[in-house]
Amino acid sequence: MTQRIQLSPGIPKAFKALIAMSDEVTRAGADAGVDPALLELVKIRGSQLNGCAYCLDMHTADAIKHGEDPRRIFLLDAWRETELFTEQERAALELTEVMTRLSQTQNVPDEVYQQATKVFTEAQYQAVAWMIVLINTFNRLGVPSRARLPRRAG
């Protein structure tokens, strides 16, 4: 594989600001009562769709550290075919897919929006939507760079 210029460390202040945004959205989600595990599922699903190995590696490990059931992670790509995900998680995953594919969908369909706003408060919806925007941004830094996976023990 061709080694690429790494974008994330290339403009350190911009990347630091992006990390700060992610931390702020995570805090806003927590303040609004969004389960941190749900936000990890959003990050994983967005990274699956974008093919970002670095982010998938990071967020699956983070999710497991925070108690996520590995089975749910293994089946996340087929979430519609299982009963393992809550109504809120399903709404967040659907919103993640639609927002991640905006270049194809050109829209968030009313039914997707209505389902999300049925199960989330305004503040929760905002935190979930912002996290979708952020994971897509991180993926767009990682994929073109072919960011290398960190070494892990074991």
Q: What is the DSSP string of 43-79?
A: HHHHHHHHT-HHHHHHHHHHHHHTT--HHHHHTGGGG
pLDDT over threshold 80, residue 152? no
Q: What is the pLDDT of residue 154?
A: 64
CB atoms within 10 A of CB 108: 15
Average pLDDT over the chain, rounded to an integer? 96
Q: Which of 150, 143, 125 is nearest to 47 (CA)?
A: 143
71-117: pLDDT as tens digits: 999 999 999 999 999 999 999 999 999 999 999 989 999 999 999 99
9-67: pLDDT as tens digits: 899 999 999 999 999 999 999 999 999 999 999 999 999 999 999 999 999 999 999 89
What is the distance between the alpha carbons of residues 85 and 74, in angstroms, rounded to a whole number?
12
Q: What is the pLDDT of residue 79?
A: 98
